[in-house]
Amino acid sequence: MTSVDGAGSNSLVLGARKGLADDLAYLRPLYPTSDWRSHANFGELANFWLHVHSSLRSEGSEVVRIVNAYRGQEIDRMQLQQAFVPQLNSFLQHLDHHHRIEDNVYFPKFRLLDGRLIAGFDLLEADHELIHQSLVQTVAHARELLAALSQTAGGERQAADTFAGRIEHLLKLLQQHLGDEEELVVPALLEHGEQALL
Ligand SMILES: [Fe+2]
Ligand SMILES: [Fe+2]
């Protein structure tokens, strides 16, 4: 029996799970990843979905690259501030916007396609809550880093290390979520066609 709240099993909770169980990703064996793009039902929505995920991965990695450049003394505090703020804001806004559309528009439609999809999309929606909690913590540590950078009292190195730990945790959760979501969304689009989601 599957559980998305961890009451019966923590193995499915984002941060603990290694992937989706076969009963949740029941269409996965029928639609191997390598065949997705050549399938007749692979259309604009699936392509856009994968593109957004790719962009989120890239934007998040860029935030890590910037803060690590500062930690490695490749850039100074002024260069960090200039690069860090717009990149982090862009990443977090895109992430939040994407999850809102999924929760409010697309996930309800997927649940209506087939009752066997409900548990999987409930799990993905629970993922969004955990990712949002991590996002809020990341923002708090970003503010602490910016405050430390604007002061002369020291502490900016420690603040950068702490922030790096938070953003890496957020990206670890996000990577697992994006991959698992693709294994539910794309096979469902190929099985049912994209017209069912419009
Ligand atoms: Fe998602
Ligand atoms: Fe997504």
Residue 19 lies in a domain: no
pLDDT in tens, 20-63: 999 999 999 999 999 999 999 999 999 999 999 999 999 999 99
From residue 36, alpha-carbon distances to 10, 84, 148, 195 in Å are 31, 36, 47, 17
Q: Could you tell me the residue range of the domain that residue 101 belongs to?
A: 36-197
Q: What's the mean pLDDT when you consider all of the chain?
A: 94
Task: Compute, in angstroms, the gap from residue 174 CA to the centroid of ligand 1.
Answer: 8
User: What is the number of structural domains in the chain?
Assistant: 1
Q: Give the residue from 81, 51, 189, 174 showing the smallest Cα distance to 124.
A: 174
How many residues are there in the chain?
Answer: 198
Question: Is 128 domain-assigned?
Answer: yes
* 118 is a domain residue: yes
**pLDDT tens for each residue of 70-103:** 999 999 999 999 999 999 999 999 999 999 999 9
- Band (pLDDT 50/70/90 cuts) for residue 10 is low
Residues with CB under 5 A from ligand 2 (ion): 181
Quick check: 187 pLDDT over 90?
A: yes
Check residue 85 and give its pLDDT: 95
Is it the case that residue 7 has pLDDT exceeding 70?
no
Whether residue 169 lies inside any domain: the answer is yes
Give a three-class secondary structure readout of the chain: CCCCCCCCCCCCCCCCCCCCCCCCCCCHHHCCHHHHHHCCCCCHHHHHHHHHHHHHHHHHHHHHHHHHHHHCCCCCHHHHHHHHHHHHHHHHHHHHHHHHHHHHHHHHHHHHHCHHHHHHHHHHHHHHHHHHHHHHHHHHHHHHHHHHHCCCCCCHHHHHHHHHHHHHHHHHHHHHHHHHHHHHHHHHHHHHCHHHHC
What's the gap in Å between 82 CA and the centre of ligand 2?
29
Domain for residue 12, yes or no? Answer: no
Supply the pTM of this predicted model.
0.93
- The 10s digit of each residue's pLDDT in 155-183 is 999 999 999 999 999 999 999 999 999 99
In 3D space, the residue among 24, 36, 32 whose CA is nearest the CA of residue 121 turns out to be: 24
Of 18, 5, 3, nearest to 177 (Cα)?
18
Asked if the structure places residue 18 within a domain, the reply is: no
Residue 1 has pLDDT above 80, yes or no: no
Query: Residues 137-159: pLDDT tens digits?
Result: 999 999 999 999 988 778 999 99
- Which ligand number lies closest to the CA of residue 99? 1
Ligand nearest to the CA of 46: 2
Instruction: Point out the ligand nearest to the CA of residue 103.
Output: 1
What is the per-residue pLDDT for 99? Answer: 98
Top pLDDT among 5 and 87 is at 87
List the CATH number of the domain containing 188.
Answer: 1.20.120.520
- pLDDT for 153 equals 78
Instruction: Find the 137 Cα to ligand 1 centroid distance in Å.
Output: 19
